[in-house]
Structure 1
Amino acid sequence: MADRSALAAVKAISFDCYGTLIDWSRGLQLALETRAGLAAPEAARLVRRRGEVEWRLLGELEEFVPYRRLLERSIVIAAEEEGLQLPPDAAGAVAASIGDWPPFPDAPPALRRLAGRWPLALVSNVDPEDLDATVARLGVPFARRVTAADVRTYKPDPDHILALLHEMALDEFELLHVSAYADYDLATAQDLGVPAVYVDRYGRPLPEDVEVLFTVRDMEELARALTGPAPRQPRRGGPGFRPRAGERRKP
């Protein structure tokens, strides 16, 4: 664990979006079931395979292509590798569902608390119009957003964070980057000298050569760590009262 005193210098917080704030695997699986007609077990298999395929495709890119095309291509290849038949145009319909993917329940309230203290920013590989739809779902203002289309390259290349530092006029130590992914985000932040926090949503240990300020289980724990305990909620009760219930690769 790195020195948490680095937090004193932080002037803004940036986030990976899909997998950290947005439950992309759930959203993609639901789209595969409803838009491609796959049964749940088949959709789950394709989700797992597709992430591996996307990572390969990113390494093979010779020129920039919009993310929807990359997602569509990865779905087609993953289906072929899993021996699954997709209806014509199903991959494109699934790729168009990004803006419908749901936030993790802990993300919006935690972001609202953090937005009261720091400017927030997003760095993402998805296309700008899909990120716009996602931001509307999160319901929280972001001071800056950097997409792959803006920098013409994909994470884990450092250009997203470099562009963000430039646009927000920040030194590296003044930005805190938050992500659930060592490979797409945290290793890059470390290379750039940007302090980072790991959101361990999936129970994966960090690689030994990746250092972060600290690790949290979810966004609620991050908000507590950075701003203190959440205000106590008023008691609710009465007749009929029921309390509310509290993979690898990604987009």
Structure 2
Amino acid sequence: MSAVVFDLDGVLVDSEPVWEEVRRAFVADHGGQWQPDTQQRLMGMSTSEWAAYLSGELGVRLPADEVARGVVAHMARRYEDGGVPLMPGAVDAVRRLAARWPLGLASSSPRVLIDVVLDRTGLTASFKATVSTEEVARGKPEPDGYLLAAERLGVDPAACAAVEDSSNGLRSAYAAGMRVIAVPHPRYPPAPDALALATYVADDLGDLTPERVAAAMRTGT
């Protein structure tokens, strides 16, 4: 194995509840209607994709670019005022694996939020390459973000393990040809068919040791 590529939201940062709260409020404040399946559909979308969805499908009375700016500004303020809501064991897991392999990050968050999170958690130097799906043509479940992360790391995607939590993220990493390690979020579990794509399902980030990651990579070959 040559590298490990992490997702950010839901894996390292418990941000999905914050995203849901912020976007729900934004939709309600601007005349839209949140649907029962909205949060699951949004997970993994790029900024342009979810902004267009809120504007076009949920009835928010603003153009997509204004939706994106407004929601991201609210998210940045939440991180600045309340701190970054790290998943338990996130920093230790990153540092454990960074001591053995180069790490990448393939996130659906906008670049500004990725940089804020890594800076505030002291993890910037742990990642050799980071990708926001703003920087690729298609968001998750398409493989574009993971493929670009592998390219920036200078490694073959097939020689990478990806750490994911969501249905769209698992599908994205699998489509990129990576070995997929799932760390399901307890509040937003992935669909069974997406979870079935994982070579290994970890109980939590404490379960993510170099030995288990290496074994999962061998199992997937």
Q: TM-score over 0.5 for the alignment?
A: yes
Count of aligned residue pairs for this structure pair: 193
CA distance in 2, matches of 1:155, 1:90: 20
Aligned-residue CA RMSD (Å)? 3.6
Greater mean alpha carbon deviation, residues 205-214 or residues 113-122:
205-214
> Which of residues 155, 172, 192 in structure 1 aligns to 2:157?
172
Alignment-derived partner of residue 86 in structure 2: 103
Give the structure 1 partner of residue 129 of structure 2. Answer: 144
Alignment of 1:23-42 (within 5 A): 23-28=14-19, 31=22
Which amino acid in 1 is paired with 2:42? E
Q: Secondary structure at the match of 2:193?
A: coil
**4+ runs of 1 displaced by more than 4 Å?**
29-33, 45-49, 75-80, 89-94
Any conservation in 2 of the 1:53–1:74 contact (CA below 8 Å)?
no
Q: Deviations over 1:85-113 (max 9, x none)?
A: xxxx9996543233415221221121122
Question: Equivalents in 1 of 2:119, 2:165: separation in Å?
Answer: 21
Structure label with greater radius of gyration: 1
Question: 1:102 is paired with a residue of what secondary structure?
Answer: coil
Distance 2:41 2:198 in 1: 28
Where do 1:157-236 residues align within 5 Å? 157-182=142-167, 184-202=168-186, 203-204=189-190, 206-207=192-193, 210-223=196-209, 225-226=211-212
CA drift of 1:148 comes to: 1.6
Aligned position for 2:39: 51
Partner of 1:125: 108
Matched position secondary structure for 2:209 = helix
The unaligned stretches of length 5 or more in structure 1 are 1-9, 39-44, 59-65, 81-88, 229-251
2:139 corresponding residue in structure 1: 154
CA distance, structure 1, for counterparts of residue 194 and residue 38 of structure 2: 26
Corresponding residue of 2:218: none
Cα contact 1:76–1:91 (8 A) shared by 2: no
1:96-145: CA deviations, max 9, x gaps? 23341522122112112211111111111222111101112332121101
State the one-letter code of the partner of 2:177: G
Identity percentage of aligned residues = 22
- When structure 1 is superposed on structure 2, of 71-80 and 208-217 the one drifting more is 71-80
* Aligned pairs for 1:85-104 within 5 A: 93-99=70-76, 100=79, 101-104=84-87
- TM-score, normalised via structure 2 length: 0.69
Distance in 2 of aligned mates of 1:208 and 1:145: 24
- State TM-score, norm by structure 1: 0.62
* From 118, 129, 154, the counterpart of 1:135: 118
Q: Is the 8 A contact 1:49 1:78 kept in 2?
A: no
Are the equivalent residues in 2 in contact too, given 1:72–1:92 (CA < 8 A)?
no
1:123·1:145 contact (CA, 8 Å) conserved in 2? yes
Mean CA deviation greater in 171-180 or 197-206: 197-206
